[in-house]
Amino acid sequence: MAARIGLVSISDRASQGIYEDKGIPALRAWFENALSSPWEAVCRLIPDERELIENALIELVDKAGCSLVLTTGGTGPAPRDVTPEATLAVADRVMDGFGEQMRAISLKYVPTAILSRQVGVIRKNALILNLPGQPKAIKETLDGIFPAIPYCIDLIGGPFIDSRVDVITAFRPNK
């Protein structure tokens, strides 16, 4: 069974066609390179509107059957950055370690990482993560957090996700 992965880019200007979205292509490219198990992307490009973000996350988990949903954009301190609030509003449980680790990774590259409000949550049997918006930062962050993602998906009842060990190794404890 192919894992369904929701890729959500949150940007007023990209959703209006003012400029090209770079978040979804960066996420897709990372997963195409890294995963060895079958997967399918379910993509959404939406503006920075809390209700639209909440609705997209609910739809991707509850109706589209995504076991992993990654958002890009809207995690800063600006008034229109509401991705974390929308994510927390649809959450069953918060996974604090993901937010902490994503900021720690980004701090290796930019001091402004402390302005990020990224969160990780579980909704039903899906993991939802707020990633940075820039392609370089998306790759850096996924390289740092992905080893824990497949095991988390295992623990919450999602499909088996595995990686190409020459790219990145999914961590699973020995039983």
Angle in degrees, 0-180, between the axes of helices 96-107 and 135-145, rounded to the nearest 10: 120
Q: Are 4 and 40 contacting, i.e. CB atoms less than 8 angstroms apart? A: yes
Mean pLDDT of all residues in the chain?
A: 96
User: Quick one: DSSP state of residue 35?
Assistant: B
CA–CA distance, 28 with 31 (Å, rounded to integer): 5
The number of C-alpha atoms within 13 Å of 103 and in the hemisphere containing its C-beta is 15
Range 3-155 classified under CATH 3.40.980.10: yes
> What residue type is 153 in one-letter code?
I
Whether the model clears a pTM of 0.85, i.e. scores above it, the answer is: yes
Per-residue pLDDT in tens (0 to 9) along the chain, 175 residues: 899 999 999 999 999 989 999 999 999 999 999 999 999 999 999 999 999 999 999 999 999 999 999 999 999 999 999 999 999 999 999 999 999 999 999 999 999 999 999 999 999 999 999 999 999 999 999 999 999 999 999 999 999 999 999 999 999 997 5
The number of C-alpha atoms within 13 Å of 64 and in the hemisphere containing its C-beta is 22
Domain map (residue ranges) of the chain: 3-155
Q: Are 127 and 15 contacting, i.e. CB atoms less than 8 angstroms apart? A: no
